[in-house]
Structures are given as C-alpha cells and as structure tokens.
Structure 1
Amino acid sequence: MIQAYQYNHQNELVRPIEVFERDDEGNYVIPDQCTTIAPPNNPSFYKAAFDVEKQHWYESATQEYIDSLKPAPLPPNDLELLKKQNAWLTKQLTQLLAMQKGGNPE
C-alpha cells in the first residue's frame, strides 16, 4: 500500500487515499487526478493545488480568502477599558492642574 493524494478538476487537494492495486509488473496503479507527491506540511497551505506539469503543490487561495479565515479582533475587555479610561482621566487631570497653575495644558 502507498499513499496518494487526490485533487479535483481545479487541481485542489481533495483528500489523501491509500492505493493497494498493482499492475502485472508489481507497480502501484495510481488513479487519475492523483499523485504520490505529498503536499508540504510546512508551510501549510490554505488551499493546496497541484501543478500537473511541474509536479508540485502550490497555494491557490487568494489573499482575500486567507484574510477571511482570520478571526475578527476581540473587543477590549473590562480591564483594557479601565486602563484607557484611567489614561484619559490622568491626561485630563494633568491638563487641568497645568491650567490652574498658569502653564501650558499640553
């Protein structure tokens, strides 16, 4: 048994398959739209596709598709909000004290 990798009509990786069948000479019979060339593990691809002519895998995902998979940033938690409020209040207090002393508020 050997491992092969099936790809669709757009040459995108579908799934790994196990090949058991052999021909009369003992060679494994690789099905159509399959290759024994493993897609690279590192770096991993978002949408691996196989270039049949060059016999190698490449990234077929667009940057827009890759970006769409990234989770949205989390909203600030309570502690972060308090830190921002504290910084803003400290700045306001510093400016107020400077104005009372006749200095420049900035």
Structure 2
Amino acid sequence: MIQVYEYDENFILTNPVPIEPDEDGEYVIPENCTTVQPPSFVKPMFHPAEKIWTEAATQEEKKALEKQIESGRVPSPVDELKAQNAAITVQLAESQSLAELEAKMIANLYLMLAEGGKGE
C-alpha cells in the first residue's frame, strides 16, 4: 500500500488516500493525485508541471485558523495528520495480518498436497 495526496480542481489538497496494488502488483494513481507529499502548509496547493506544493492560504486565513486553534474549536493541521497517520497505520497492520494468515493457509494447502491431499 502507498499513500497519495488528492487535490481538487483548484489543485488544493483535499486528503491523503491509501492506494492498494492491483492484481499485477502495480499502483494505479488517480489523475487528481500525486505521490509528492505536501509540507505542513495551512492550504497546500499542488503544481503538477513542477511537481511541487506551495502555500495558498492568505495571511487572513492563517490568522483565522490560529485563533480557532487557540480557542480549541478546530484541531491543528498537525493533530489532523497524526490522526490520519494512526488510521493508516491500523489499516497497514490489518493488511499485514491478513497477508500472514493467507500465507499460513497456503502453506497448509501445500502440506496437504504433499501428504497426498489428506486433511487432518
């Protein structure tokens, strides 16, 4: 699994998106996404031609957000990223657990075949 970063029609970051490989093990990245991780901007804006992010928030937007964070009305962008990272970590752990279970099942099937197809 990889993480890509989705942006809207104005190239403003909307969310990080985990992408699973297809049946060939390839990652198909949607058109409105990039693998380039945005810095910790208030309002990241992607520039596809240069493959860079810039800050799109105005000074007024930044000050308004700072006031909301100070008053406790909204979580900080870092807190939001921490929560998203925790959710992705859980998804990764679940995927790894399933992969291990599948590997054990396959090993048991090979063992059954080696023993002449007789189950326990």
The TM-score bracket by the shorter chain reads 0.5 to 0.7
Matched residue pairs, number? 69
Structure 2 residue runs without a partner (length 5+)? 71-120
Please give the residue correspondences for 1:13-28 in structure 2 after superposition, counting only pairs within 5 Å.
13-22=13-22, 24=24, 26-28=25-27
* Partner Cα distance (1:2, 1:60) in 2: 26
* Partner Cα distance (1:70, 1:4) in 2: 27
Which of the pair is proportionally richer in helix? 2
CA offset digits 1:7-49 (Å, max 9, x no partner): 111111111111114375x431101100011112xxx211011
User: Residue 60 of structure 2 aligns to a residue in which SS?
Assistant: helix
TM-score (norm 1): 0.57
Matched, 1:48 2:47: no
CA offset digits 1:48-105 (Å, max 9, x no partner): 11111110111010112112223299xxxxxxxxxxxxxxxxxxxxxxxxxxxxxxxx
Moved over 6 A (4+): none
The CA RMSD over aligned residues, in Å, is 2.2
Identity of aligned residues (%): 42
What is aligned with 1:92?
Answer: none
Aligned partner of 1:57 among 50, 53, 56: 53
